[in-house]
Amino acid sequence: MPNLNLIFINTIAMKNFTLVVSMLCFWLAAPAQTTKPGQQPPPNTGRWTADGAIRQETPKLKGGGEAFWTEEFNWASSTGELGWLLPAGWVIEDPTDLGYNWHWANDTLKGVYTNEPPINSTSKANGFLALNADGYNQDLGHYDNYLAVNSSLVSPPINCSGHPSVLVRIEQNFRYWSNSVMLFEVTNDNGVHWASFDMKMGTKVSERVGGIKAGEKVDLYLNLSDVAANMPNVQFKITWRDAKLYYWMIDDITFLEGFDDDLQLVYSEADYDNGTEDAEGFFYGLPKTQLSGFDFTGIIKNFGNIEQWGTQFNVQVTKNNQVIYNESTTSYTLYPGITDTLRIPTQFIPADFGHYKVDFEAKAELPDMVPGDNKASVPFMVTDSMYSRCDNVPEVTFSTWDWYTVPHEGDLMGTWYRIKNPIEVSSISVYINSADILSSFRLVLLGYNEETQSPVELLGSELISMDSTILKNHWVTLPLQKDGEGEFLEAGKSYMAAIEFWNNMDYEAAYESGRYSLGSDRSNYFPANTCWYFFTNDDAWYSTGDDLFMIRLNLNDHSNLIDGISDPQNSGVQLNQNFPNPFTEETTIGFTMANPSEVNLIIKDISGRTVSIRNFGYKPAGENSVVIKGNELEPGNYFYTLQTRDFNKTLKMTVIR
């Protein structure tokens, strides 16, 4: 893909991961307002409403890992003004005296962008600890007025004597914004020195930790042995600062001895070989005409107490539940606390259409005591036409409206695709997360001009007014208007599939509206410079390293006879544009067939939802027509598809009132 002369951090995104923790000891000494045991907790402005029960999953330890201290946050109290009291030994610090503090909760957290059910923790019935930045800031209007949280929860002393290794497990659920600091700090000398551990678990801005669903939880394990092992007076502090948005929920903090045998697959990656030295990333959908090999990489950490003989990184690929690829790295010994990056020496090259799954695994000679973090998997498919980096589920959303200071009329967001073999493009698909009914958009194909060092438009779709059926969470596919040149994509070049948006309202109205946003997929690896966005007010392109815009490039290939689409060329069928168009009462769709055939007409709205399937029976060769009644459809834009035995073509029509 083209090289943008900006600096961005390379993205590593995954649904399932385990944190690699490095420890940094440093001096801390800061005065703090505190809440003392038995006192009323600091006031909070968070609002909660009761929510339904969440399914509970209790972790099971398999040998080793004996727990010796647990806090379940059963802090409810009928004598507390807010329904809870801080137990003896615990302290809540408020260094800025702001009042945005950790608090006990047992209901849904509500706020500006938050509506999060209670965390599905082991002891969820007892409540949990929360810091609800959204709840505190929800009455302050614009984001510029929001205040940043800065609060710490400090534990009473914990006796770790007689425990030669010490882990801590924290059950948590959070989202954060901007440069938030989220720390687990540990001291063994009454706070003179603190060791600091990051608690973000590799989570990117705005996404929910671990890619979990609302109300669920992830387990964070930290190895505290260097600070806490055999120490009689250990305290921890959980700190959140410099955050103006979202929330953090914590429950069931457990100190336990380390496991003897505990490998972790920290990270796994399938990187598509684009024929250059540059990384290309993962593809969920690959057209058969563009196939190449995959390179596999894994990062493995020995999180256990003893060396692991016979450590290997293994990759299996299955198609239709049959193993078609099984390769491992050379076995070796991985010592405690060491992290290694391992690469499979042999590429995997898919050969045909189908649904595939890649399974990654960290292995050793001895059975792993915590096997749940040894594996990861990712599906992909080989198709005839769909070229897609993203899967079907957004982790977060993206909009150029994240920058609020300009109107953003005509901004673009696009995803780059490199072409291996020459092919014709057909259409573009995009996942619209949200929009306003007044908005309009079109889909655009862009190439790259080496002389100007910038994208240049090749083809575009019709301009579409927003329809009520696609205001939220919908895939939209639009055909590109071909000109006889721009649709033919050249081998070795990269092309951007993009969407161009207009609010069609003034800045204040647009700011208050349901501003447009796209789905962003963070479930798999993609390199920086994969996605670009254009600010019309700056007349400049920018790149994002964190967000993969959910935009697909659809190629004009219909060679998959099983689940593909037949080639409309040489079929002897001609489909005409409906007349009149737009229409109110009725419209006629005409078509001509060289041979008699069964005829079906499928009508879909602009989101791709099927609203009507009509079978017109066996039609003779020659000119034919069907009539569509306007009162059978809501006003809006639709696509109608004519299907015969060997023909399939789609055109657009509009119903008005």
Contacts of 570 (CB under 8 A, 6+ apart): none
pTM for the whole structure: 0.72
- Residue 253 has a CB neighbour count (10 Å cut-off) of 22
Q: What are phi and psi of 611, to 5 degrees?
A: -110, -15
Containing 133, the helix (H) or strand (E) segment is: helix 133-137
How far is 189 from 442, CA to CA, in rounded Å? Answer: 62
What single-letter amino acid sits at 483?
A: D
Token pair in block for residue 289 = 């005409």
Digit-coded pLDDT (tens) for 458-508: 999 999 887 666 666 778 889 999 999 999 999 999 999 999 988 777 767
Strands 540-544 and 531-535: what pairing?
Answer: antiparallel
Q: Judge if the upstream peptide bond of residue 2 is cis by omega within 30 degrees of 0.
A: no
How far is 412 from 423, CA to CA, in rounded Å? Answer: 24
Contacts of 450 (CB under 8 A, 6+ apart): none
Place of tokens 């083809």: 459
Q: Using an 8 Å Cβ cutoff, are 135 and 109 in contact?
A: yes
> Would you state the pLDDT for residue 516?
81
> Would you state the pLDDT for residue 177?
86
- DSSP type of residue 188: S
Q: Judge if the upstream peptide bond of residue 582 is cis by omega within 30 degrees of 0.
A: yes
Q: Using an 8 Å Cβ cutoff, are 106 and 49 in contact?
A: no
- Residue 607 has a CB neighbour count (10 Å cut-off) of 17
Token pair in block for residue 313 = 């990184």
Q: Does residue 39 register a pLDDT over 60?
A: no
Closest CA to 536 of 399, 441, 411, 400: 411
Buried b (16+ CB within 10 A) or exposed e, 334-355: bebeeebebebeeebebeebbe
Q: Using an 8 Å Cβ cutoff, are 247 and 133 in contact?
A: yes
Contacts of 268 (CB under 8 A, 6+ apart): 14, 296, 297, 298, 299, 360, 376, 378
The band of 404, judged by pLDDT with boundaries at 50, 70 and 90, is low
Region for 215 from its dihedrals, namely left if φ exceeds 0, alpha if ψ lies in -120 to 50, beta otherwise: left
Digit-coded pLDDT (tens) for 327-340: 999 999 999 999 99
As a whole number of Å, the end-to-end CA separation of the chain is 46
Digit-coded pLDDT (tens) for 579-598: 898 888 899 898 888 777 88
> Would you state the pLDDT for residue 40?
39
- Is the dihedral angle over the CA atoms 431, 205, 9, 400 positive or is it negative? positive
> Would you state the pLDDT for residue 514?
63
How far is 565 from 558, CA to CA, in rounded Å? Answer: 5
Among 25-29, 482-486, 625-629, top mean pLDDT goes to: 482-486
How far is 582 from 579, CA to CA, in rounded Å? Answer: 8
Which domains does the chain carry?
A: 24-51+67-256 (2.60.120.200), 263-383 (2.60.40.10), 396-555 (2.60.120), 573-655 (2.60.40.3080)
Give the long-range contacts of residues 476-479, CB within 8 A, separation 24 or more: 476/429, 476/430, 476/431, 476/432, 476/443, 476/606, 476/607, 476/608, 477/427, 477/428, 477/429, 477/554, 477/608, 478/427, 478/428, 478/442, 478/443, 479/426, 479/427, 479/650, 479/652
Q: What are phi and psi of 290, to 5 degrees?
A: -115, 20
Q: What are phi and psi of 235, to 5 degrees?
A: -125, 155
The band of 51, judged by pLDDT with boundaries at 50, 70 and 90, is very low
Q: What are phi and psi of 450, to 5 degrees?
A: -65, -30
How far is 579 from 564, CA to CA, in rounded Å? Answer: 29
Among 54-58, 534-538, 643-647, top mean pLDDT goes to: 534-538
Q: What is the dihedral of CA 248, 249, 251, 257, to 10 degrees?
A: -30
How far is 103 from 41, CA to CA, in rounded Å? Answer: 7
Region 128-140 average pLDDT: 94
How far is 312 from 217, CA to CA, in rounded Å? Answer: 29
Query: Where are the strands (E) in 485-536, listed by range?
Result: 488-489, 494-502, 517-520, 531-535
Q: Higher model confidence: residue 355 or residue 28?
A: 355
How far is 566 from 558, CA to CA, in rounded Å? Answer: 5
Token pair in block for residue 139 = 């009455």
The band of 275, judged by pLDDT with boundaries at 50, 70 and 90, is confident
Digit-coded pLDDT (tens) for 528-569: 889 999 988 888 999 987 889 999 999 988 776 444 334 444
Rg over CA atoms, the chain: 28
Q: Using an 8 Å Cβ cutoff, are 529 and 543 in contact?
A: yes
Q: Does residue 133 register a pLDDT over 90?
A: yes
Write the CA distances from 408 to 5, 281, 459, 512, 530, integer angstroms: 23, 30, 22, 14, 22
The alpha carbon of 570 is separated from its chain's Cα centroid by a whole number of angstroms, namely 42
How far is 551 from 428, CA to CA, in rounded Å? Answer: 7
Contacts of 283 (CB under 8 A, 6+ apart): 272, 380, 387, 388, 389
Containing 508, the helix (H) or strand (E) segment is: helix 507-512
Buried b (16+ CB within 10 A) or exposed e, 400-411: bbeeeeebbbeb
> Would you state the pLDDT for residue 490?
96
Query: Where are the strands (E) in 157-246, listed by range?
Result: 167-175, 181-187, 193-198, 218-223, 235-243
Place of tokens 């069931």: 252
